[in-house]
Structure 1
Amino acid sequence: MTFFEQFFSNTIFLTAAFGWLVAQVLKTLIHLIVSKKFVAERLVGSGGMPSSHSATVCALVTAVCYEYGAGSFEFAISLILAIIVMYDAMGVRRETGIQAQVLNEMLKVFEDMGRSEISAHDKLKEFVGHTPLQVLMGALLGILCGVVIYSFLL
């Protein structure tokens, strides 16, 4: 079996990737409904509802649990990774997004004052982190993706 055959038959990887894909599509649809604008960057961008980071790692944890059991070291490693990723999404990355909003507002004020060397068009990304609700919804979505794949597709 070649590397690519092994890679694309890895159910754990495919479950995690599926969790990410579903979250990104939902995030794009929710953004479209709320803002009435299609933003293609939402398909791959971070931030927003639901958290694709949480969906990915929780789908991974669920798949690992099905494959190796809750008592395995693989499950322990994937669970710790998931906790770190979700904590970071709500903490440092969320604060970075809030700081980006403040800095973008400052850039707009400077531009309005005639300071042309600073442009509000060079905006910082504000969709970086997640609220606790976005992380929770991503986590539930990831678990659901894992359960669906392992219960109905395998």
Structure 2
Amino acid sequence: MLYFIAPFIGWFVSGIIKFIINYIRFGEEAKKRIGNGGFPSTHTTIMTTTTLLIGLAEGFLSPIFGLAVAVTYIIIIDATGLRMHVGKHAYILNRLERTNKGETTEALRESMGHTKVEILGGLILGTILAFTLNIIFKV
């Protein structure tokens, strides 16, 4: 059961922290920043929490832990690579739209990927959550 709720706990805790940080930095603008991007990386938090729980329960040399590490790594590569480039493209398209004299459309979200610091934040938060859940539920 814990493996099922751990991702939701990681998502919830990371989302709350991300919203608080954005509210401190951007005020009411924080509501528009809900979603991909920002500190800490929610995707990384979710995967790290679950992956470490698997390692703690099944062993760090188990095949399922190895698979979980591989999927976590793919998600991190995606967040720092592909989604970061999507955000850069959105930035350029938004600038082009502003220079166009025609009708305007809603701006594309520019904060899509993660910096290495945001990924590190997700790794640290996920580690803390995994060890905390392991202690509470004695996996």
TM-score normalized by the length of structure 2: 0.92
User: Does structure 2 retain, via aligned residues, the 8 Å contact 1:27–1:42?
Assistant: no
User: Does structure 2 retain, via aligned residues, the 8 Å contact 1:46–1:127?
Assistant: yes
Q: 1:46 aligns with which of 29, 36, 52?
A: 36
User: Does structure 2 retain, via aligned residues, the 8 Å contact 1:28–1:38?
Assistant: no
Q: Percent identity between the aligned chains?
A: 25
- Residue correspondences, number: 138
1:144 maps onto 2:132 in alignment = no
Match in the other structure for 1:101: 91
Matched position secondary structure for 2:44: helix
Q: 1:28 aligns with which of 19, 24, 31?
A: 19
In the TM superposition, what are the counterparts of 1:2-151 in structure 2 within 5 Å? 10-37=1-28, 39-40=30-31, 42-43=33-34, 45-110=35-100, 114-116=101-103, 119=104, 121-151=105-135
Superposed CA RMSD in Å reads 1.4
Amino acid at match of 1:49: F
User: Does structure 2 retain, via aligned residues, the 8 Å contact 1:62–1:143?
Assistant: yes
Greater share of helix: 2
Amino acid at match of 2:82: V
Moved beyond 4 Å, runs of 4+: none
User: Which whole-Å deviations, capped at 9, do the CAs of 1:58-87 have from their partners, x for residues lacking one?
Assistant: 001111112211111110110000000011
- Return 5+ residue gaps in structure 2 as ranges: none
TM-score normalized by the length of structure 1: 0.84
Of structures 1 and 2, the larger Rg is shown by: 1
Amino acid at match of 1:142: G
Matched position secondary structure for 1:39: helix
User: Which whole-Å deviations, capped at 9, do the CAs of 1:26-75 have from their partners, x for residues lacking one?
Assistant: 111100000122533545x1111110000000001111112211111110
User: Which whole-Å deviations, capped at 9, do the CAs of 1:90-113 have from their partners, x for residues lacking one?
Assistant: 001011111111111111111xxx
